[in-house]
Amino acid sequence: MAQVVTSHRGPVTGTANRAKKRRPFLIDLYSTAVGKKYVMALTGIGMMGFVLFHMIGNLKMYAGAADLDHYAHFLQTLLYPLAPKGWVLWILRGGLITMFVLHLHAAWSLTRLNREARPVKYQSSRDYQIANFASRTMRWSGLIVLAFIVWHLLDLTFGVVNSEVGNMVQYEGDTEKIKAVYVSVIASFDRIPVALFYVVANILLGIHLFHGAWSIFQSLGWNNPRFNKWRRAFATGFAAVIVVGNVSFPVAVMAGVIS
Amino acid sequence: MSNTIKNITLKIWRQSGPAAKGYFETHNIPEITDEASFLEMLDILNDRLVTEGKEAVVFDHDCREGICGTCSLMIDGQAHGPQRGTATCQLHMRKFKDGDSITIEPWRASAFPLIKDLMVDRSAFDRIIESGGYITAETGGAPDANLIPIAKPIADAAMDSAECIGCGACVAACPNGAANLFTAAKVAHLNRLPQGQAERYSRVEAMVETMDEHFGSCTNHGECEAACPKEISIDVIALMHKDYRKAKFANRKDLARS
């Protein structure tokens, strides 16, 4: 008969019979680690979609100032005149913020759970066999990308650290002035430290995606011998496309390809 | 033809009880035959310690043929040591070289409280099994053999997960102290077979939620699969996540749950 050891997470020995908690379905699901991983994966998919379209949209930079500025104007006036200007964009942003907050909360609470699961660390060094740099550094790559996003918003969305943001420009054939986005991007990347931070953060985002995009399949239980071998290729390919696309912008500005 | 391996230095975790402070104790094995298993090497060391009037090192072991799941040990930072697909009992000294230094630690997880030295209490696994690791069988006369037809690939897949010996290497190797591989192997074993269908969804729900009370969460490192003496694939974890999703989302009447 094993001794009864009680940790603050409940008795380790005893019986498995316990009362079923009655609470709303989604909260009940989210209260389990597996449920949190579903949230992690689903919000991850949503944000991957954003990152991909953000990168594709920014490729307009190579088509010139007018193309990029008109694309930005298109986003700000999505579905106008059906919806008032800016509304659809803010609804999309709301969804993005929600996914971001959920992803962070799930990561934070799972990390806490994992720390509790091994309060006494191994006293000798571990010899990891499969865990790679990406999977071992998800928390760090995630946190640095978070710091970058804060900077990125202050820089190119709110213009707190970029005096060019908010300038308007009128192109030939247009009836109104639109935001001069292109000029502010160039002004941002002309600062070498900012451009370097951008490059580093995007490489870390790629590393985060390398593990995250693969993990989605495991976490959601999308497992099928027919496509399993493509999961790694998909994650690597997706991460590579994002990194190459995003890193090309500051490099192009620094190299003088676009100015 | 056996060879002798000379001058092995062992750094062994000693801890007199659950609450005591532990430390590494260094022992030298001047020579040992390479045919000795790792546990036999510890037996020989213990014989010597007892002769010297010292306390023997406490470690778990039983069948010593890789099927009972009793032996454990974190050897040089790897659960069950550097050999893939075997438990510590099947690891032999021929895997080591003259002059090697070997560090031995117990499994470390809050769900596996340390009892003494290298022995931990793995009864948290029993809690998971109790909550769903069974099928409902009718009493009465013994049914004819092969009464229930099972497709060969299904039987094989179920056997792959039924190989789990419950040693806890997956938890020990997991950077998060998660028991997803153990639980998923047990879920996959029964959920794949026709006999397991009656409780399929209540099983996965109960087992996942019991697992949750004791262990960490899966971050898909894959260390468990590498450490598993039975080389159970993390594909079973995906299967468990899928069945748990179905158990939570599908129509309760369809799944015949209360």
Q: Give the burial class of A90: count Cβ atoms within 10 A of its Cβ; 0-12 exposed, 13-18 middle, 19 or more buried.
A: middle
Q: Express as a percent the part of chain B with pLDDT over 90.
A: 84
Q: Which residues face B21 on adjacent strands? A: none
Residue B258 has pLDDT above 60, yes or no: no
d(CA B58, CA A155): 61
* Secondary structure (DSSP) of B5-31: EEEEEEEEEE-SSTTSPPEEEEEEEEE
What would the mean pLDDT of B93-113 be, rounded to a whole number? 96
Strands (E), chain B: 4-14, 23-33, 74-75, 78-79, 101-105, 114-116, 119-120
Task: Please tell me the predicted confidence (pLDDT) of residue A226.
Answer: 87
Residue A12 has pLDDT above 70, yes or no: no
Residue of chain A nearest B235, judged by CA positions: A223
Task: Please tell me the predicted confidence (pLDDT) of residue B136.
Answer: 84
Residue of chain B nearest A135, judged by CA positions: B221
Residue of chain A nearest B129, judged by CA positions: A16
d(CA B81, CA B88): 6
pLDDT band at B142, cuts 50/70/90? Answer: confident
d(CA A154, CA B5): 64
pLDDT band at B251, cuts 50/70/90? Answer: low
Task: Please tell me the predicted confidence (pLDDT) of residue A22.
Answer: 72
CA distance A161 to chain B (A): 37
Task: Please tell me the predicted confidence (pLDDT) of residue A2.
Answer: 43
**Cβ of B24 and A16 within 8 Å?**
no
Task: Please tell me the predicted confidence (pLDDT) of residue B27.
Answer: 97
- Residue spans per domain, chain A: 33-113+136-254
What would the mean pLDDT of B12-33 be, rounded to a whole number? 96
CATH fold for domain A33-113+136-254: 3 helical TM bundles of succinate and fumarate reductases (1.20.1300)
pLDDT band at A99, cuts 50/70/90? Answer: very high
Task: Please tell me the predicted confidence (pLDDT) of residue B103.
Answer: 97
Residue A1 has pLDDT above 50, yes or no: no
**Cβ of A114 and B217 within 8 Å?**
yes
CA distance A254 to chain B (A): 37
C-alpha triplet A174, A178, A179: angle, nearest 5°: 155
Is A224 in CB contact (< 8 Å) with chain B? no
Weakest-pLDDT range from A218-227, B138-147, B245-254 = B245-254
DSSP 8-class letter at B94: G
Task: Please tell me the predicted confidence (pLDDT) of residue A74.
Answer: 94
Residue B200 has pLDDT above 70, yes or no: yes
What contacts B22, CB < 8 A, 6 or more positions away?
Answer: A123, B13, B14, B15, B114
What would the mean pLDDT of B42-68 be, rounded to a whole number? 97
| Domains of chain B, start order | 4-115 (3.10.20.30), 122-249 (1.10.1060.10)
CA A228 to chain centre: 24
Task: Please tell me the predicted confidence (pLDDT) of residue A6.
Answer: 54
**Residues on chain B touching A222 (C-beta within 8 angstroms):** 238, 242
**Residues on chain A touching B177 (C-beta within 8 angstroms):** 114, 117-118
Q: What's the one-letter identity of residue B236?
A: V
**Cβ of B216 and A218 within 8 Å?**
no
Specify the 3-state DSSP secondary structure of B215.
Answer: coil
For chain A, give the mean pLDDT. Answer: 91
Q: Express as a percent the part of chain A with pLDDT over 70.
A: 92
What would the mean pLDDT of A48-56 be, rounded to a whole number? 97
What would the mean pLDDT of A229-244 be, rounded to a whole number? 96
pLDDT band at A23, cuts 50/70/90? Answer: confident
pLDDT in tens, A180-217: 999 999 999 999 999 999 999 999 999 999 999 999 99
What would the mean pLDDT of A26-47 be, rounded to a whole number? 95
Residue A124 has pLDDT above 50, yes or no: yes
What's the distance, Cα to Cα, between the start and end of chain A in Å?
Answer: 76
| Structure-model confidence comparison of residues B68 and B247, the more confident one | B68
pLDDT in tens, A142-183: 999 999 999 999 999 999 999 899 899 999 988 899 999 999
